[in-house]
Amino acid sequence: MNIIRKVTLEGVNTRSSITRTIHLYAPCCKNQAGRYRITPRKDLPLTYEMANPPHQIAHRKAWNSWNTSNIDGGIRPAQTAIEDVFIRKFVTGTWHNLFVSEVIIKRQHNIIRIAGIIRRGIGARKMYFLIGYTEELLSFWLQCPIKLELQTVADKRDVVFKYI
Amino acid sequence: MLSYSRSFEKFLFSNVEKSLPFSIAYSTEVKKEVKEEFRVLNLKNVKRQTQPKRAQKQLEALPPRTNKMPVDQDWGSVWPGPRSFHPASVPLPVRQGYVEKGVAPDKYANAELIKIPNFLHLTPPVIKRQCEALKKFCTPWPKALENDKECEKHFPIEVTSSDYCHSAPTIRNPLARIVTIKFKLSSLNLNERAKDKFLRLVGERYNKETDTVAIVTDRCPLKKQNYDYAMYLLTACYHESWNVEPWEELKSEADMEYYDWSKNASKKSVEALFGKQTEDIPNVKEYSEAVSTLMNEGESEYSVTKYGDSVRKLLGLPDAPKT
Amino acid sequence: MLNSQLFLKRYNSLHITPKINSFIQRLFSAEAEEKIEIPKRIHRGPTDILRALEATISRDPTAAHYKYHDDPYLIPMSNMGKRTFAMAQESGRKAAHWIRKEHADLFNHREADPVIKAFLPVVSFNEQSDITEDNLKQVIDDVLVSEAQLAYKLLKDKGVDISEETRQALLELLCYTNDTDILSEEFIEERWFRQTTKSKEKQRKIWKDNSLAEEIFISIENPTAETYSAMIQGMCKYFQVDKAWHLYEESQEKGLILTSDAYSSLLRVVNFLKESFEMKWALTEELLQKMNEAKVKPNLTTLNSALHSVSTMGGGKNQKDLALKVLKEFKGLGIEPSLGSWYYILITFCKERGPISTVLHDIMPEIENKEHHCLDLSDTYFFVTAMDICRSQLNDVELGRRVHKLLHFGNNYNLIGDSYKESIYYRHYFGLMMNNMPFEEFMQNIYNMLVPNIYVPEPGVMAEVLKQVDLNGSVEYVAQLWSDMIIFDHINRENLIESILNILDSNKPEAESNLIEVFSCIAWDLFKRLEDEGDNRFNKLRLTGDQLGKVMILLLWNKDFQKACLIFDKLDQEQHTIVGVPKIEALSMFIDSCIENKMPSRAIACLQYCSDSGFPEVEELGVKIHKSLTLDENNLAKLTKIAGNLS
């Protein structure tokens, strides 16, 4: 834990080498994943998900991805994780700027259920088009039935938990 | 690292920010050209130049349908299958989330409620209904097999195998090929010698306390193959244990699996000590039993004390002092 | 929280095997025991458990159809909405199919085990690919017409011989689909919403001449009965009757025995082959006779085709008798009529301009309380027609209820056809129930159950509902109906607005009830919506002066003077664009409330308006104003100018 390999880029330097060095200093050992810095104007909106740092998972937060690949004797954990990454990127990109929460992926047997909160940025007809498109294309890609279970919210400020 | 990345992001975003209003400013400039003189391009004070956002069209939505739900509705029909929580369809005022000072956030726009698995589709009345519906696929348990004893009497072999369901597009699991066969040794017809041979063949698979032999097979890729292999092993062991090989005659005292006092040195030494046959020596039976117990069952508090007592009796020594 | 993870690990334990090895069994049969009856495992298909579970749930009245996303923003609110949402979703799916077709090489990975064919890219051929006859068979099975054509051409170019069965199968495919790609079964929404106005249109010939089907037919040296049958059926289906008849005669010359389906298809187009009623019937008889001679067993399709022809033969004297005769004969052969046959009987007997026939009463006992499956295409027309007859001709509630019950029996709802037929069915059902039931009961049991999720009333039906409200005086429903009208997008229908205002106006509620407030809310809402909406729409619905007057009255009943002023301002300013003028009662009420609220200038403005509009009561109103309010000089001068001398 104390040893973190860091890639340093020394662009201007004539030596111009990409080196891997060992971190020897204590200040770099702190946890900074998933934590947001307080802004001076206190106007950075955080959702409940963002407001709770990762060590609160299983205490105050739940997981975003539910499947049986990581139990004892579970199969294909790596492929499931990669599929999750793909799904998240695909969904966030297709529903551009519309998701106000994280993408929640639940797997049950063969079916993948994708849930989340979206804002009413586009008309309902367009949403239906995107729903049909996402479900169908992802089912072709992942070769299992996909179901979307979305919740719409009028204003994106409804999901804000606190301002930092 | 975080600070570096943050500043990098800021740098990126500020660039993007700057370029956007630049384009907007350009468009306004073109329009205003006609009316006024050519305006000096001003990249600073970017915020003033951004046009006000078009008032978002107010897109109406229906009120949540929980308002219309009667209290005595059939919940099993409203939520028939597993589904992520939706606040407009569930008429309960649930809250989820931790706030140090204050009340937990309510169900609208609450991602936590969506994340957790809910069992709204399996309320007890629904489970009851579904069980009733599935009963037609079940057959009754045979009347003759009332208790375990009967089952064991008629079906001595117990075959165990597992099927696995996973949340994956594939149904294959390598662990599903494992087959375990259990049966009681007493259900096999073996004489002493055959039983001894059988136990030597089966080795660790025999559990002395419950008198069961458990054969686990997983070397074949398919469950059926493993089952056939296990049955083959059982058959082979049984037949082998009845088979008398010529070299079995060569079984000596050192190979014996249990200690027989009458054949061992202990008897001879006692006879030598007393100068008589075993039957004539008093207390010799107790002694022989104690020695056999000690040898067969290993040393324990009980067997050692019994041995001691029997030796004392045999040699006519006074009893051990009671502690 | 950890144990709430979703996983299922079933231990299939205690799978006690009865399959004891023989030698062990020998060791055991020593004791005499009672015979152990192990019941046989009940066979279940792959979806039987799901069907059993599905039988436990019933309809949820507050939810929209399950194909729509269950979110308040995404629930359709009108007929238009239902259609567009479902079609939008389908078009998204089509877009995904297109992408997969374009980039089929990117979708070659196989994740699923066992492989699910629906998720794999569709096989497509081009000139380079190696095709065998098996590929052609596969493509024919999957009903991919253009692929089949391409495959056939490639095989022919390569000089590969195709077997008889494959050729026959290909010919049948091409005849059935008329050489065009049919809509894949996956796109159910498009099929559902396809407006079936085909039956109303004149059926014209759409068979493709000189298509690949005909080419193949010609290339076969010795066409068998099956090939002839396939060609005849295809041509009849697409109304190429001359060629079909020609092929029929050819086959008869060669002495080939056609299949019963070929005869059925010929029967269906009898109406195009001959002109007069007698000749048509003669031809029908001839065909049936030929069938009999050739010992071809007729089936349900034959019955329905014969009935189809008889029912559309055009008025002959004994058309009904002939229909019954046909029915009886086929029953004698052991062919049970399906719902489609009953449909034909209905349209034969219950013509719009003919005498009223009670044949439906006789039909119902035959079909009630039975589960019907779709045996013929015409089955889907039955329920619509039956309900239509119940309502327009017989006006019989009991019968209507029976038909409705039959529709909901078991899986019979599948026979409703498509969305168009469904809406017509419910339109008639509504009309029937509305005219024959007490209004409250109707609203509670039928309106609230069906609207808006199953059926959205059309404007015409809405008008009838409003009429009923008027007749009954049940004004408490007006609020609900108004909100429904807003949701269903009916508000720019003039007659509906007219009726609503009339109802509100003529049924003044008691002073204490909150209905007054409700009414004025409705009126104001109506006014505002038509004002706001008008900017965006291209055909503005303008309120007439009379209607504005009614709105004003309703507002004034609730003592809402501010809003009434606004309406008057509109009346005044847009005098030249508003048609008509309000009634004098409205204006006098307005003047009264002006007097109450001590606004003489307004009162005088109103009086000016009255006189401009040419009302004779101007004088007395002027006197009233003069008496009740103290006016300053300007106003007095104006008043005198308008109303003349007031002393």
- Is the bond preceding residue C114 a cis peptide, omega within 30 degrees? yes
Reported as a single tens digit per residue, the pLDDT across C355-412 is: 777 788 888 888 888 888 888 878 888 888 888 888 888 888 888 888 888 888 877 8
Is B322 among the domain residues? no
What is the pLDDT, as a whole number, of residue C494? 76
C-alpha closest to that of B218 among B203, B233, B204, B235: B233
B35 inside domain: yes
Q: Do A108 and B82 touch (CB under 8 A)?
A: yes
Chain A partners within 8 Å of B88 (Cβ): 151
Looking at the DSSP bridge assignments, the partners of residue A65 are: A105
- Please tell me which chains touch B, using 3 or more CB pairs under 8 Å as the contact test: A, C
Q: Once rounded to an integer, what is the mean pLDDT over residues B269-294?
A: 78
Residue B270 lies in a domain: yes
How many folded domains does chain B comprise? Answer: 4
pLDDT given at position B53 = 52
Let me know if residue B304 belongs to a domain: yes
Checking if the pLDDT of A55 tops 90, the result is yes
| Mean pLDDT across A70-87 | 93
Calculate mean pLDDT across residues C439-443. 81
Say yes or no to pLDDT of B146 above 50. yes
CA distance A77 to A30: 29
The per-residue pLDDT for C15 is: 41
Which residue, of B200, B229, B250, is where some domain finishes?
B250
Residues of B whose CB is below 8 A from A60: 97-98
Q: Stretch C34-48: mean pLDDT, rounded?
A: 86
Question: In this structure, what DSSP letter does residue C618 have?
Answer: H
Contact B76 C487 (CB under 8 A): no
**Alpha helix ranges (H) inside chain B:** 2-35, 46-49, 75-78, 111-115, 124-134, 148-154, 192-202, 223-242, 265-274, 284-297, 301-315
Question: Which of A52, A72, A131, A155 best tests the C interface by mutation, with the highest count of C CBs <10 A?
Answer: A131
Task: Kindly identify which residue of chain B lies nearest to residue C5, measuring between CA atoms.
Answer: B117
Identify which has the larger pLDDT, C40 or C559. Answer: C40
What DSSP designation does B118 have? -
CB B248 within 8 A of CB B220: no
Assess whether B159 and B236 both reside in one domain: yes
pLDDT band at C59 (very low <50, low <70, confident <90, very high): confident
Mean pLDDT, residues C50-54: 91
- Is B282 part of any domain? yes
How would residue A131 be classed by pLDDT, with cut points 50, 70 and 90? very high
Find the CB nearest C90 among A132, A134, A142: A132
Q: What is the pLDDT of residue C315?
A: 67
CB contact under 8 A, B109 and A117: yes
* Whether residue B205 sits in one domain with residue B276: no
Sort out which chain A residues have CB atoms less than 8 A from B167's CB and list them: 67-69, 80, 107-110
Whether B62 is covered by a domain: the verdict is no
pLDDT at C645 (0 to 100): 61
Whether the pLDDT of residue C14 is over 70: the answer is: no
Q: Are residue B157 and residue B218 in the same domain, yes or no?
A: yes
State pLDDT tens for residues C479-514.
788 888 877 777 777 777 777 777 777 777 665 567
Inter-chain CB proximity B114 and A158 less than 8 Å = no
Do B96 and B104 contact (CB within 8 A), yes or no?
Answer: yes
B158 and B225, same domain (yes or no): yes
Better-scored residue on pLDDT, C160 or A98: A98
Q: What is the predicted pLDDT for the residue at B13?
A: 47
- Helix axis angle, C145-158 to C212-219, nearest 10°: 40
- What are the φ and ψ backbone dihedral angles of A99, each rounded to 5 degrees? -80, 125
More confident residue, B282 or B11: B282
CB B166 within 8 A of CB A66: no
Is the same domain home to B223 and B271?
Answer: no
Region A35-60: what's the mean pLDDT?
93
pLDDT confidence of residue B56: 47
pLDDT at B31: 44
pLDDT exceeds 90 at position B116 = yes
Residues B244 and B202 in one domain: yes
Residue B28 has pLDDT above 60, yes or no: no
Strands A146-153, A111-119: pairing kind: parallel
Average pLDDT over residues C46-50: 92
- Stretch A47-58: mean pLDDT: 93
Structure tokens at C637: 């001068």
pLDDT, tens only, C576-616: 777 777 777 777 788 787 777 777 777 777 777 777 777 77
- Does the pLDDT at position C257 exceed 60? yes
B74 by DSSP, 3-state: which?
Answer: coil
Q: What is the pLDDT of residues B189-223, one digit of tens each?
A: 888 889 989 998 998 999 988 999 999 999 999 99
Q: How far does the CA of residue C107 sit from the closest CA of chain A (Å)?
A: 7
* Cis previous bond, C452, omega within 30: yes
Instruction: Let me know if residue B143 belongs to a domain.
Output: no
Tell which wins on pLDDT, C49 or C543. Answer: C49
C608-625 average pLDDT score: 77
Gap between the Cα atoms of B146 and C35, Å rounded:
13
* Residues contacting residue B79 through CB under 8 Å, at least 6 positions apart: B89, B90, B120, B121
Contact call for residues A151 and C74 (beta carbons, < 8 A): no
Average pLDDT value for residue range B98-106: 93
Interface contacts (A, B; CB < 8 Å):
103
pLDDT of residue C30: 38
How far apart (Å, rounded) are the C-alpha atoms in residues A116 and C131?
A: 46
- Coil, strand or helix: which one is C66? coil
Q: What is the pLDDT of residue C620?
A: 78
What is the three-class DSSP state of B114?
A: helix
| B144 shares contact with chain A (CB less than 8 Å) | no
Predicted pLDDT of residue B157: 93
B112 touches chain A (CB under 8 A): yes
Q: What is the pLDDT of residue C363?
A: 83
Nearest to A132 among C73, C91, C110 (CB): C91
Sign of dihedral through CA atoms C321, C322, C328, C332? positive
Give the confidence band of C538 by pLDDT, cuts at 50, 70, 90: low
Dihedrals phi, psi of B107, to nearest 5 degrees:
-75, -15
Place of tokens 């004698």: C332
Map residue C172 onto helix, strand or coil. helix
pLDDT higher than 50, residue A10: no
**B154 three-state secondary structure:** helix
The residue from B200, B228, B250 where one domain ends is B250
Nearest chain A residue to C109, by CA: A141
Nearest to C36 among B154, B158, B170 (CB): B154
Statement: residue C128 has pLDDT above 50: yes
**A58 vs C1, C9, C86: nearest CB:** C1
Contact residues on chain A for C120, CB-CB shorter than 8 A = 143
The per-residue pLDDT for range B223-281, each reduced to its tens digit, is 999 999 999 999 999 999 998 888 888 887 777 777 777 777 777 787 777 777 767 77
- B115 with B88, same domain: the answer is yes
B165 contact residues in C (CB cutoff 8 A): 8-10
C-alpha dist (Å) from residue B39 to B31, C114, C278: 11, 69, 90
Q: Which of B78, B138, B158 sits opposite C63 (nearest CB)?
A: B78
Across residues C414-434, what is the average pLDDT?
84
Rounded to 5°, the CA angle C50-C52-C55 comes to: 110
C103 and A CB contact within 8 Å: no
Within 8 A by CB and 6+ apart from C310, the residues are: C281, C284, C319, C322, C323, C326, C344, C348
Can you tell me the ipTM of this complex? 0.83
Least reliable range by pLDDT among B36-50, C37-51, C598-612: B36-50
B147-173, pLDDT tens digit by residue? 888 888 888 999 999 999 899 999 999
Given a cut of 50, whether residue C2 has pLDDT beyond it is no
- For residue B202, tell me if it sits in a domain: yes
Q: Are B185 and B237 contained in the same domain? A: yes
Does the pLDDT of residue C646 top 60, yes or no? Answer: no
Could you tell me which of B136, C582, B167, C480 has the C-alpha nearest to residue A81?
B167
Among B134, B181, B229, B239, pick the best mutation site for testing chain C contact (most C Cβ within 10 A). B134
Question: Which residues have a Cβ under 8 Å from the Cβ of A104 and sit 6 or more positions away?
Answer: A64, A65, A66, A114, A115, A116, B84, B111, B114, B115
Render pLDDT for C338-362 as a digit per residue (tens, 0 to 9): 888 888 888 888 776 667 777 888 8
The predicted structure's pLDDT at residue B265: 77
- pLDDT-derived band of residue B16, with 50, 70 and 90 as boundaries? very low
Residue-level pLDDT at A18: 80
Handedness of CA A54, A58, A64, A67 (dihedral sign): positive
Based on the domain organization, do B206 and B299 belong to the same domain?
Answer: no
- The pLDDT value recorded for residue B323 is 67
At B220 the pLDDT is: 94
Mean local confidence (pLDDT), C53-75: 89
DSSP letter (8 states) at residue C437 = S
A104 touches chain B (CB under 8 A): yes
- Considering only CB atoms, B2 lies closest to which of A32, A62, A120, namely A32
Taking the Cβ of residue B249 and every Cβ of chain C, the question of whether any pair is shorter than 8 Å is answered with no
Find the domain containing B45 and state its range: 2-49
Give chain C positions within 8 Å (CB) of A137: 96, 99-100
Q: Which domains does chain A have, with CATH numbers?
A: 45-163 (3.30.70.1350)
Q: Is B74 on the interface with C (CB under 8 A)?
A: yes
Q: What sign does the dihedral C220-C223-C226-C227 (CA atoms) show?
A: positive
Write phi, then psi, for A63 (nearest 5 degrees).
-80, 160
**Facing A143 at nearest CB: one of C5, C72, C119:** C119
CATH label of the domain that carries residue B221: 3.30.160.20
pLDDT tens per residue across span C297-349: 888 888 888 888 888 777 666 778 888 888 888 888 888 888 888 888 888 88
Q: In what order do the strands lie in the sheet with A111-119?
A: A65-66, A104-108, A111-119, A146-153
Q: Are residues B45 and B10 in the same domain?
A: yes
| Rounded average pLDDT over A72-87 | 93
Q: Name every residue whose Cβ is closer than 8 Å to that of residue B152 and which is 6 or more positions away in sequence.
A: B184, B187
Q: Which residue has the higher pLDDT, C507 or A42?
A: A42
Put simply, the answer to whether B108 touches A153 (Cβ < 8 Å) is yes
Residue C8 clears pLDDT 80, i.e. is over it: no
